[in-house]
Amino acid sequence: MTGDASLLTGLTLKHGGYVTYGDNNKGKIIGSGDIGVKGSLIIHNVLLVEGLKHNLLSISQLCDKGLEVTF
């Protein structure tokens, strides 16, 4: 998720929907798009969330897509 539309390519606006954060606050979904560099890793269906101040990445969703995450 991101709050910065300039990071996304192929932005599609959405009408309605919310995400719930760990502290039970909610953010309104404005749209979705892709983020990354052509020829490298591209993450699809990244949500654009109104007022989100930090980019959030779900490690479990990356693993569900078959990617390996190493720290």
Residue 40: inside a domain, yes or no? Answer: yes
Residue 69: inside a domain, yes or no? Answer: no
Residue 70: inside a domain, yes or no? Answer: no
Say yes or no to pLDDT of 39 above 90. no
Integer angstrom CA distances of residue 10 from 7, 48, 59, 68:
10, 12, 23, 25
Instruction: Classify the phi-psi angles of 16: left when phi > 0, otherwise alpha if psi is within -120 to 50, otherwise beta.
Output: left
pLDDT band at 40 (very low <50, low <70, confident <90, very high): confident
Structural domain for 27, as ranges:
5-64
CA 18 to chain centre: 13
- How many structural domains are present in the chain? 1
Question: What percentage of residues in the chain have a pLDDT greater than 90?
Answer: 77
DSSP conformation letters of 14-41: --S-EEE-TTS-EEEEEEEEEEE-TTS-
Say yes or no to pLDDT of 38 above 90. no
Q: Are 31 and 14 in contact (CB under 8 A)?
A: yes
